[in-house]
Amino acid sequence: MENEKIENKSLNFIEQIIEKDLENNKNGGRLHFRFPPEPNGYLHIGHAKAICLSFGLGLHYKTKVNLRFDDTNPSKESIEYVDSIKKDVKWLGFDWDDREYYTSNYFEDLYQMGVKLIEKGKAYVCELSPEEIAKQKGTPTEPGQNSPYRDRSVEKNLELFKKMRDGEFEDGTKMLRAKIDMASSNMHMRDPIMYRIRRAHHHRTGDDWCIYPMYDFAHGQSDFIEKITHSLCTLEFEVHRPLYDWFIDQIAEEGEDRPRQIEFARLNLSYTIMSKRKLLELVEEGFVEGWDDPRMPTISGLRRRGFTAASIRNFAETIGIAKRNNVIDVALLEHSVKDDLNKIAPRVMGVIDPVKLIIDNYPQDKTEELELINNPEDESMGSRIVPFSKEVYIERNDFMEEPPKKFFRLGPDRMVRLKGAYVVKCTGYDKDETGKITAVHCEYDPETKSGSATKQVKVKGILHWVSVKHGIKVEVRQYDRLFNDPDPDGHKDKGFKDFINPNSLEIFNECYVEPSLKDVKPEDNFQFQRLGYFCVDKNSTKNNIIFNRTVPLRDNWSKKNK
RNA sequence: UGUCCCAUGGUGUAAUUGGCAACACGUCUGUUUUUGGUACAGAAGAGUUCAGGUUCGAGACCUGAUGGGACAACCA
């Protein structure tokens, strides 16, 4: 059945390429993929798209997928990021078995390849300064000029490259460049830098090296070393492909399997910023609590916010793979979570902004134990007991002194049902000097008890509630979008930080939930009736449970009256 | 005044490889419901950027234009 699904699904353009390669018995019909993050930040939803693509392909074709850390720039990378990446990929539900690789594992191989290129007369040591390099490189519309060091002898180049490695030169004073074509219309072919001198402590190789390969000289070769067949990356690397192929041309033997780079469009989400560099700014400048702040589009942020791995995988499946630049509506991501959580999240009752509802004709000391269904979507989730008594909290905005006709909730003389309990009729309300409502009064009809009603009363409104005597006090954090512009990064006159939504976090610390929630654990998901999906925050303690609102439930009345 | 890539409802992705455009989200309407959730039913919304060409027939192929994107880090 699973297979049928795949059969019927139309293939994206990458799968079509793969199918064709398979038909032609390219690489002997072998397939091998990889996901190559740089450990310089936390993974975000955009990476999730790439992860689901490559690992998904691995699952589909029952073949290997490597996790490779592209760690060639030690000054930005750290072990913290490595660990977070592993955790997040695993959490998403993917497995790289023992194929955890690092580009830094290949530093020696890469060095030898550099030597080989020099010997072939395809690389040279250059001593130009960054400014001089920029100048002689030309522009996209004007050709560049050859470096004065371009025609050094092989011997001299070999000697200098060795000395670079041995630490005989200052940082930035020399570099190894490929000898290609300074007049190429592709800027990346204008004698690109292969190695630079940089004395920085590497999180894996420590101080073993003072020269580090550049991306272009490391990535394709790493793919080649790992015998990757299809190297998937985002569109901005399209112009790098000729260089990717050129380097492999230099090292691959005739007839040897070689990787093929295929580019796809990166994910853009409305109201969301997706640049690691900018996310780092938000973290460092304290606009959010950290990489896993629930407002962040990081995997860890989404997880803390209550998103499930399945929902993210489904989302990735839904948005598809293509080469067109896109901006996906966050509503689609939210739909994915709601869809998943609707099936698995237990329904519970809680009141975020409470006001007392006093049932005047209910006995003072009586407590009734009502049985409520945990999830109408899934009977196997059973039911639970919720205590009911004379005084309950209801949502402050579930009562209006002068309600309009379309308002189905409580107002003077109006009737509603208290979820799982009785139909009540509002008989009055109390106010303090400031005009604030302090309590709402009502009378209940004993014959309307849920499940065993002897009288049928039709009401339009059903309110959630928590018994005052039995409720547990908790803290609730509601998150709104971090940016109040659909494209915070798309303005020339303003920076993305000008669009930060100052009300993106709202804390309610006077909230009450039903007693069944006494022993919740971080990452537990719930649907609070009528309010939305909530997730227990990792910082919760026994005495202070914190709920993050994952995503609100649709509420037509409030929507129309905004 | 360069090279490369892209162009399908509001958004994203399809279209069995040339047979008059489908699916999902969103929007709207209705039904059911002890969640204004869910489920179900239905509606509106593109004639495929434009102009030529090939063809009995083009969203698909060709040419040109237009629009958008990428490329000038000792970043990846």
pLDDT in tens, A319-356: 999 999 999 999 999 999 999 999 999 999 999 999 99
- Cβ-contact A384, A374 below 8 angstroms: yes
In degrees rounded to 5, what are phi and psi of residue A135? -70, -45
End-to-end CA distance of chain A, in Å? Answer: 45
The Å distance, CA of A78 to C1' of B76, is 14
**Residues 6 or more apart whose Cβ sits within 8 Å of residue A303:** A88, A91, A292, A309, A523
Q: Which long-range contacts (CB under 8 A, 24 or more apart) does A91-95 make?
A: A91/A299, A91/A303, A91/A309, A92/A48, A92/A51, A92/A52, A92/A55, A92/A299, A92/A309, A92/A312, A92/A313, A93/A309, A93/A310, A93/A313, A94/A51, A94/A55, A94/A65
The Å distance, CA of A16 to C1' of B57, is 26
Count Cβ atoms below 10 Å from residue A408 Cβ, excluding itself: 17
Residue A133: its H or E element:
helix A130-136
**E strands along A112-259, which residues?**
123-126, 175-178, 193-197, 211-213, 230-234
User: Cα–Cα distance between A182 and A138 in angstroms, integer?
Assistant: 8
**Using the CA of A332, which nucleotide's C1' is the nearest one?**
B25
**Residues 6 or more apart whose Cβ sits within 8 Å of residue A406:** A557, A560
Instruction: Supply the residues of A annotated as catalytic.
Output: 38, 266, 276
In degrees rounded to 5, what are phi and psi of residue A453? -65, 135
Q: Interface pTM (ipTM) of the complex?
A: 0.96
Question: In which region does residue A481 sit, left (phi positive, over 0), alpha (psi from -120 to 50) or beta (all else)?
Answer: beta
**Using the CA of A264, which nucleotide's C1' is the nearest one?**
B5
User: Cα–Cα distance between A406 and A275 in angstroms, integer?
Assistant: 44
Residue A547: its H or E element:
strand A546-552
pLDDT tens sequence across A123-137:
999 999 999 999 999
User: What pLDDT, on a 0 to 100 scale, did the predictor assign at position A273?
Assistant: 96
Helix (H, G, I), strand (E, B) or coil at A510: strand
pTM: 0.95
- Cβ-contact A258, A231 below 8 angstroms: no
Tokens coding A381: 């989730």
The residue that minimises its CA distance to C1' of B26 is: A331
| Tens digits of pLDDT across chain A (562 residues) | 333 334 457 899 999 999 999 999 999 999 999 999 999 999 999 999 999 999 999 999 999 999 999 999 999 999 999 999 999 999 999 999 999 999 999 999 999 999 999 999 999 999 999 999 999 999 999 999 999 999 999 999 999 999 999 999 999 999 999 999 999 999 999 999 999 999 999 999 999 999 999 999 999 999 999 999 999 999 999 999 999 999 999 999 999 999 999 999 999 999 999 999 999 999 999 999 999 999 999 999 999 999 999 999 999 999 999 999 999 999 999 999 999 999 999 999 999 999 999 999 999 999 999 999 999 999 999 999 999 999 999 999 999 999 998 999 999 999 999 999 999 999 999 999 999 999 999 999 999 999 887 888 889 999 999 999 999 999 999 999 999 999 999 888 889 999 999 999 999 999 999 999 999 999 999 999 999 999 999 999 999 999 999 999 999 988 888 7
* Positions in chain B where some atom is under 7 Å from a protein CB: 1-8, 10-15, 17, 24-26, 28, 34-39, 68-76
Q: Which residue has the tokens 């690992």?
A: A55
**Residues 6 or more apart whose Cβ sits within 8 Å of residue A174:** A125, A126, A127, A160, A164, A197
Helices (H), A226-329: 241-251, 276-284, 299-305, 309-319
The Å distance, CA of A191 to C1' of B60, is 39
The rounded Cα A278 to chain-centroid distance in angstroms is: 15
| Residue A355 CB-density burial (10 A; 0-12 exposed, 13-18 middle, 19+ buried) | buried
- Cβ-contact A546, A514 below 8 angstroms: no
The Å distance, CA of A54 to C1' of B12, is 20
User: Cα–Cα distance between A36 and A219 in angstroms, integer?
Assistant: 9
- Cβ-contact A372, A529 below 8 angstroms: no
User: What pLDDT, on a 0 to 100 scale, did the predictor assign at position A7?
Assistant: 47
Could you tell me how many residues make up chain A?
Answer: 562
The residue that minimises its CA distance to C1' of B17 is: A16
**Using the CA of A321, which nucleotide's C1' is the nearest one?**
B13
The Å distance, CA of A308 to C1' of B36, is 26
In degrees rounded to 5, what are phi and psi of residue A140? -55, -25
